[in-house]
Every structure is written in C-alpha cells, then in structure tokens.
Structure 1
Amino acid sequence: MEPFYYMVFGALGAVVAVLELSKGTKDRINTPSAFNSFKNNYLLVYSLMMAGDWLQGPYVYFLYSQYGYGKGDIGQLFIAGFGSSMLFGTIVGSMADKQGRKRACVTYCITYILSCITKHSPQYKVLMLGRVLGGIATSLLFSAFESWLVAEHNKRGFEQQWLSITFSKAIFLGNGLVAIVSGLFGNLLVDSFALGPVAPFDAAACFLAIGMAIIMSSWTENYGDPSENKDLLTQFKGAAAAIASDEKIALLGAIQSLFEGSMYTFVFLWTPALSPNDEEIPHGFIFATFMLASMLGSSLASRLMARSTPRVESYMQIVFIVSSAALLLPIVTNFLVAPSKVKGGGISLSGCLQLLGFCTFEACVGIFWPSIMKMRSQYIPEEARSTIMNFFRIPLNIFVCIVLYNVDAFPITIMFGMCSIFLFVASILQRRLLVIAEKPIFFTEEDRELRERDPEMEPLNI
C-alpha cells in the first residue's frame, strides 16, 4: 500500500490524539456519578448497536455480488432498503412515541437480527425481505435511541447541557472508534479467517443480541404522548402540524435532509471518484481513514458544545460551507489536473487531492451528528419526537432512491456538484435558523402586555 495512505491516517490520528489529550477545564464539564453511570450505560448500548450496523455496511454489495447478482439487481435491493425506511419509518416512529421507546429499541435489535439471518440465503426474494427489514431497523436506529435518551435524561432531572456530552461521546465512539474496529474485525473474519462474506452479518447479530439483553435488563420505559385516544394517524397529523406551525422545526428537517442526502450520495460516489480508471485503492483502509476523520470532527464538536459560545446554530453555518467546498474538489481537480488514461496502477494526483477533501467532508460529518442531535433536543417537542425525526427522513430516502436509480445517468462531477449545492443551501437555512433562534419571545400574553407598558423590560427567551 502506498505511503500516502499511511501519512493521511497517521496525521489524522495524531490530531485526534492531541485534541483529546489537550482538553482543558473549559472543554470539560464536571458531572455527578449518577449521570456518568447513566451515560456509560447508554454509550455501551449505542456502541453495540452501531457495531451491528457497521459490520454489515462494507460487505452488503460484496455479498450480493458473490451470490451472482449484477449491478441492476443489487441497485434494486438497495432501493428496497431506502424505500422501506421511507414508507415504514414514520409509522414505526409513531409507534415508538406511543408504545414506548425501549420497546422500539428492542424491536430494532430483533428486526436487524432477522435481516442478518436472511443473508444466508441466495434467494432474491429472501434478500429483498432482508433489505425491507433493514430499512425498518435503520429508521429505528436513528430515532428511537435518541428519543429514549433525551426523554430519560430529562426524566432523571439531569442538566440540559449534559446532553451534549452524551451526544458527542456517542458519535466519537459509535461513528468513529467502533466503525474503525468493526471494519478491521470484518476484514479479519472474511480475509484472515476465510469465513466468507456472510460472517460479518453473523457477528453483527451477536452484538445486537448482547445489546438487546442490556436494554431489557437495565433500561426503563418512556413514552412520547401516552394518551389512549391518540391513534397512529392522529400522531402523524400532530407531527405534521408541529412541523408546519414551527419554522425552526421545518428548517431543522430541511437542513438534516439536505446534509444526510449529500452524505449518503457521497457513500456511493467516493469509490469511482478515487479510482476512475480502476486504480488499485485499499477500500477498507480508506474507510477507516474516513472514520478517523469523523472522530476528529466529533472531538471538535465536544469542545465547541462544552462552551457557551459559539452557539451550535452559529458554527454549523461554517461547517456546511466547508463541507460544500470539500465536495467541489472532484469538479475542480477535473479541470486543473489532467486526467490519467492509464488503466490500473496506484492512486493518481487527482485522487490524492480528492482524498484530502473527502477527509475534510468526513470531519464535517463528525461535527454534524452531535450538533444536529443537540438542536433536535432543543426544538423538537417531546410528545412526538420519534415521529417527527422519521418525518425528516422521508425526503432523504426519496432523494437517495432517485440517486441510486439514476446513478449511471449523470457524470460523477454533476452528482458531486449537486451535493455541493445542497450543502450550500443548508448553510443558508442554518443562517435563517440562527436568526429565528436569537429572536426574543414571550411565554404568555401577560408578558407581552408588560413589555408594552415597560419597553425597557428584559425580554424572555426560550
């Protein structure tokens, strides 16, 4: 493997180590043992859940190809997963709010374990069922666990600021360290032990089962709106009304969809971008490098959120602009660097520059996750948290399905340009969210009347 890859990985690792070891008192928040115990329990469960997800990711496409399916058939399987998440996501989110978030988390484990089991069959219909189950599980992973955490955190009377600690640690571990270790462990099972491409799925099922046992034995149940007279349709309408009536929630949903849509598109595009002429690139090592860059971002986010300034709404504008510029690199290098026409070989100069840009984008992803979690905890109403969060995923899944369906219809530079535009729009919407969030508002009509009588009265802020 070329020294360039080791240099990038080593540089990122050194920066992450320096950031973590150099944290001062301003970057840390002293918390009581009761909160630390609660936080560590959640982080253990979340890490196991993410291990179950990350172990599968690198081998899904490879497994389907080993069963003899072509690009078109595999594309339909991927579309089924995102389509399932879109169709059933809001339903399972509503059920989580009404029936209980703990139950939803257990359902995630069971659903994903069943999805892993289907990978043992080469039958297309069985694999399609697995993708549908996987889509449902993904919706629960990105809504039920966060909803349970926020509700339980508030129920136990912990400080609101402490949520940012759990969020940043969860992303640092779940989307960083666990992702790297999962990739290396999967590689060990498939290549070193020669257990075949289905082995990581079996390992994922084991981790999910362990996590489910911890959830069932140590978590308490919490709900959104437990009203007996509210069915799923009523909850669905209530969530839609909340989004329509509160511009902050609508902006947050649009920002999330734009960023995550660009992120999932990037997942499909980075391989052909770095090897347009079938250059030999170490996919697993590059994936680990991206995850290390994400860890760097989450480490930066934990520092930023530990301080009162700058606000999350403020620095996220810069994050979106930087991520937009990073995904413009494939277009810029296409014009400035003469493309190589030699098939095979090592990574090109253009590929090296793009890899650095992609690492920058992944660092932005690492900042994005805990920051968006923090904003969701502030603006999304508790009674319909899971429902609204899955509402946000509807446009995201539609977008990804369209991209997958038309992945061969447009040049790769057009696709990256589209993602860059989306991220720039997200920065504009983030600016609008900041302006609205800084506006002073009053809790009651009585406060308004007092303000009219005394214009110099200090306004109240939510």
Structure 2
Amino acid sequence: MAMVIESEIWQPPPWLYTFLVICCGGAIYGRFHVIHKRSRTVPQNLEPSSNSFMYLPLPFLSFQRSFLCIYFLASEALQAVYGESLYQQYGIGREDMALLFAFGYFVSLLVGTFLGIASDFLGRKKACIVFCILHLIGCLARLFNKYHSLLMGTSSISLASSLFSCTFETWMTTEHDKLGFRQDWLSDTFWTMSFGAAASSLGSAALANTLVNWKGPHGMALPSAAAAVVAFVCAILITKGWGENTATSKIKTRKIVSSLAYLMADKRILLLAWVQTCFDFAVTAFWFLWTPTIVADGREVHISMIYPCLMGSIMIGSVAASWLLCGPYFCRPELYLTAVFVTASFSLAIPAYDYQEIGLLVALFCLFNVCVGIISPSLARLRSIYVPNDLRASMMSLSRVPANAVIVFVLIKGGYYHNLDNSTVFTFCVIGLLTGAGCLHLLKRWSCVANGNLDIRCNRIFSLMSKLKGHQYGHWNLRLSIQMKEGVYFSSKDSRGIMVVELQSVNWKSSLVKM
C-alpha cells in the first residue's frame, strides 16, 4: 500500500467541535422535550413510566447528585494527561514505560481482583476510601524521579483503577435499593455517570494544560500533585457523607468460594462477564494505541485537538443511551447492544488493516467512542438485572482478570519486545467485540424465554387488559411489557392502548401510557 506522509500539521476542522456540542445539547433537550410532551397526554390518575423520568422525586435527586459529585471528582484523569511526557522528562524510554505499565496491570491482576471481591464482604465505603488512598499515594510517588518510586506509583494507580471500576457503582446501586427507589431510575444515574466522567476527563485535560503552561517544562508534575489533592478531598467527602453497605447476612455467612461458585453457576452472569471482559480489553487497548496509530510514520498531528473530539463522542453516546434506557424510546439493552458491539468492531477493523488516512481514522475513533458511551451505561443496567448487588463488585473484578492478562501480554510483546504490531492488537479487539456481540445475542434469546410462572401471570394481566378495553381510555395501541426482577421479559400487542407492567418478584404494578 502506498503511503502518503502529511507535510503539514493536521488538526480537526473547527466546525467539528461546534457539531459535537450541538449534538450533545440537542439530544439532551430533545429527550426531555419529547418525554414532557408525552407526559401531558397521560391521565392524571395513572403513574406512567415516562413520567417517572420527567418528574423524579427530590429525595432521589438529592441522593443522585451527592453521589455524582464525588464520582465525577474521583473519575478525573489529571495524572494521566501528561503521564508519558513526565516519564520522558525523567529519562525513561518507551520500553521501560511499557514495563512499568505492564507491571501495574500485573499487580492489578493479582491484587486488584481480590480487593474488588473483598469489598463485597468488608464494605464498599471502605473500598472507596482505599481507592482514594491508593490514588493519593500513586500521584505523590510520581513526583519523584526514582524508578522504584515510579514503580510504586504505577502499581498504586493501577490498583486504584481496579477498585474504581467496581466499588463506586456497587455502593450506589446497593444504597439505591436500601433507600427504596425504583429500579428503572438506576438508568438515569448510569447514563449521567458515563456522560459526566467524559466531561470530567475534558476538564482534567484543560486544567492539566493550564498548570503545565503556567510553569513551562518544569511543570509536568503539577497535574499529578493536583490529582493527589483531589483524591484527598474525595476521601474526606466519602468519609463524612456516605454510609457503609456490605453483603447481606445471607451472603456474608457463606464462604467467599461458595459465593463465587454461585456466580459461576448462572450462565447469564457468565455471558455478561465475558461481554464486560471483551469491552474492557477493547477500551484499554484503544487508549494505548490511538495516539501511535495517528502519528505513525512521523506525521505531525495536534493530538491535544483530537482528544476533546473523542470525549465529546463518548458524551454523545451516553445521551443516546439515555433515550433508550430512560425514555422516550424504552428498549431492553440486549436488543440494541448486539448491533452497537458490531459497530464498535467495525470502527476498529479498518485500523486493524493498517489504514493510514488521518481524517478517516479520527472519524472511526470517534465512532468507536460513541459506541463506548452507549455500551457503558447499558452494561451497568444489565448488571442490575442479572447480578445480585451482594456480589456485584466480585463479578466486575473477576471479569477484568482476562482483560488485564491480555493487556500485560500486549504491553510486553508489543511495547517492550516490539514483536506485536498495533494492527494485530486492533484485530484482537475486533475479535473480542464480535464474540461479545455473540454473547449478547445468546443473552437476548435466553432472557426472552418466559417460564411457566410468568405465563400464568401474563394470562391474569391479559384478563385485566380485556376489562379496560372500550372504556374511558379511548382508542390506543395496547402493549403489555413485563420485566421480571431476574431479567425475564415478555411483551405482547393489541389494538387499544398501551399498558406497561413491571413485575418485582410476585408484586407488580401497571400504568397506561399513550404513545
């Protein structure tokens, strides 16, 4: 393939930033406008599911905002913005950097997995505080130009990342249940977490650039110092504002091995865990490879101008997920996630063939991050359906084990020995995402099979629906949608109105919604 090397510095066109902002703002405004418009057509004596997202109660909003405030602070990426530049300033070569990162992921593989499992039994609040302490230690250790100090800093940050990926979400979902809030309101928190984390990363990049520009080349360590301050503030806020929650006594009295065996015995949880593994590996590999892929063959590119496009793409994907998870177009995650995984694999398939046109690469990388923004909250919603809160952190920690193992292999073979091309790693990502799509397809088929008890309940509800026909509700399209707490769904259509019925174990409630 003929290779054309750009002679001038490439950067995204200015209109792209305006387009991303308009897409995010327009999608958020459009969602609330459509939900509000629909809510006005619903009888006042009924409790529609779409109204549940238009008029969220103040206690839930207070809980959500207090959690998200700390979560967004914890998701900052100040220490990562100039991490590689800081190592280069310390005189560390790319091969040694690869070994540092590989050691960090190896420590996370061995120790981080057990920290996540232990959080389910010792307390999620304690685990979140441990995350802040590890993050604080890692950031402070990077301030010293000593190899053993950098090794300790990389290991601490890797362990902190492992805890962050499971403990915050698990604490929130468990506390959500303890406070008695509706299960479907979790979706509103999940998409906001994904959206806000991307916005936090953008703010971290802006603050890091400001600090470095303030001190010049000698200010490369300032972002790490600022991240240490943020971690300290997070630890104080968690200590003062959060309550502790652990596994229930029924689970806590079992041995950890028995609890893990419970997870392994459910084929739906195993499928979901493998989907999470494939997704985690693809995202981690992407953030290691996107810069080397774009600047290949010595091309000059404004990397700092592309990063906001990638974060903005994640935000757009998160808003798109809110339309599907929280209305106005309610949809089971299994129904659309298969297509999203296939789209994500397509966006990395062209870089896997070593395609080198910068504009198309940036467009494909933005498409991949749109998919990431959709997948993250959707998988979190699926975990709420299939995985018990008592073992949620354990499942998430175990799902990271294969991903971390492959990342260590890639960093050593590709980063240190240079025996693995970037295109080959992208091929691994494509294969993983396609297998994840296959697992989601199986999960969708299994979840759509109704058991005998559900059939009996459906017959009873159909009898109720027949009594409602022809009365004061007019000529509506009637659809029955049933969601079991353990993740079994059933739907049926008729010609007069729409009824949404949510079953929680043996208890259920119904509402009429005009489409």
Give the structure-1-normalised TM-score.
0.89
Counterpart-to-counterpart distance in 1, 2:419 and 2:94:
14
Map of 2:15 onto structure 1: 7
**Structure 1: 5+ residue runs without aligned partners?**
340-349
**How big is the shift at 1:390?**
0.4
Q: Is it true that 1:428 corresponds to 2:450 in the alignment?
A: no
1:391 corresponds in structure 2 to 398
Alignment equivalent of 1:400, drawn from 407, 416, 438: 407
Shift of 1:285: 2.0
Give the Cα separation in 2 of the matches to 1:34 and 1:203. 33
Alignment of 1:68-83 (within 5 A): 68-83=91-106
Measure, in 2, the Cα distance between the counterparts of 1:200 and 1:460: 46
Alpha-carbon distance in 1 for matches of 2:117, 2:291:
37
Deviations 1:227-285 (A, max 9, x none): 79758xx31x2343123210111001100111110111111111122121221112222
Tell me if 1:299 matches 2:319: yes
Residues 361-400 of structure 1 show CA distances to partners (whole Å, capped at 9, x for unaligned) of 0111111111111111111122222112101110110011
Structure 2 unaligned runs (5+)? 1-8, 36-49, 464-479, 487-515
Matched, 1:38 2:59: no
What residue in structure 2 maps to residue 317 of structure 1? 338
Paired with 1:400 and 1:291, the residues of 2 have a C-alpha distance of: 22
Q: For residues 483 and 19 of structure 2, what CA distance do their matches in structure 1 show?
A: 46
* 1:47 lines up with 2:68 in the alignment: no
Deviation at 1:5, TM superposition (A): 3.8
- Alpha-carbon separation, structure 2, partners of 1:241 and 1:190: 50
2:362 aligned with 1:352, yes or no?
A: no
From 419, 422, 425, the counterpart of 1:412: 422
1: distance between equivalents of 2:228 and 2:342?
A: 38
Q: 1:369 aligns with which of 373, 376, 393?
A: 376
Could you tell me how far apart the structure 1 residues matched to 2:330 and 2:433 are? 24
| Pairing partner for 1:245 from 230, 241, 265 | 265
Change (3 A) 1:333 1:403: closer
Sort the Cα spacing of 1:413 and 1:136 in 2 relative to 1 into closer, same or farther, 3 A.
closer
Aligned to 2:24: 16
- 2:87 maps to a residue whose letter is Y
1:330-352: CA deviations, max 9, x gaps?
24673xxxx6xxxxxxxxxx111
Match of 2:109 among 70, 82, 86: 86
User: Which has the larger strand fraction?
Assistant: 2
- SS of the residue corresponding to residue 82 of structure 2 reads helix
CA contact (8 A) 2:112 2:163 kept: yes
Correspondences of 1:36-435 after superposition (within 5 Å) = 36-51=61-76, 54-174=77-197, 176-194=198-216, 196-226=219-249, 230=253, 234-235=255-256, 237-307=257-327, 309-331=330-352, 334=355, 350-407=357-414, 408-435=418-445
Alpha-carbon distance in structure 2 between the residues aligned to 1:288 and 1:238:
45
Question: Which stretch of the first structure deviates more once superposed, 28-37 or 139-148?
Answer: 28-37
Counterpart of 1:360, as a letter, is: L
Residue 305 to residue 90, structure 1, CA distance change in 2 (3 Å): same
CA distance in 1 between counterparts of 2:182 and 2:225 reads 39
- Tell me the distance in 2 between the aligned counterparts of 1:128 and 1:264: 20
Structure 2 partner of 1:343: none
Asked whether the equivalents of residues 10 and 301 of structure 2 are also in contact (C-alpha less than 8 Å), the reply is: no
Query: What is the CA–CA distance in structure 1 between the aligned matches of 2:189 and 2:435, rounded to whole Å?
Result: 29
Distance 1:111 1:412, change over 3 A: closer
How many correspondences in the alignment?
435
Identity in percent: 29
User: Matched residue of 2:297: which SS?
Assistant: coil
Q: Name whichever structure is richer in helix by fraction.
A: 1
Distance in 1 separating the partners of 2:295 and 2:108: 31
Structure 2 residue identity aligned to 1:375: L
2:12–2:305 contact (8 Å) kept in structure 1: no
State the Cα RMSD in Å.
Answer: 2.4
- Greater relative contact order (CA < 8 Å, ≥ 6 in sequence): 1
Aligned AA (1:80): F
The question of whether the paired residues in 1 share the 8 Å contact of 2:191 and 2:318 is answered with yes
Map Cα deviations across residues 425-455 of structure 1 (whole Å, 9 max, x no partner).
Answer: 1111110111111121367xxx99x89xx9x
Task: Give the Cα separation in 2 of the matches to 1:130 and 1:438.
Answer: 47
- Cα 1:34/1:145, change in 2 over 3 Å: same
Kindly name which structure, 1 or 2, has the bigger radius of gyration based on alpha carbons: 2
Distance 1:328-1:7 versus aligned 2 partners, 3 A rule: farther
The 1:112/1:460 distance shift into structure 2, 3 A limit, reads: closer
Quote the Cα distance in structure 2 between the aligned partners of 1:112 and 1:269.
24
- Greater Cα offset, 371-380 or 22-31: 22-31
**How far 1:25 moved relative to its partner?**
4.2
TM-score of the superposed pair, with normalisation by structure 2: 0.80
**Partner SS, residue 291 of structure 1:** helix
Do the aligned residues in 2 keep the contact of 1:93 with 1:143 (CA within 8 Å)?
A: yes
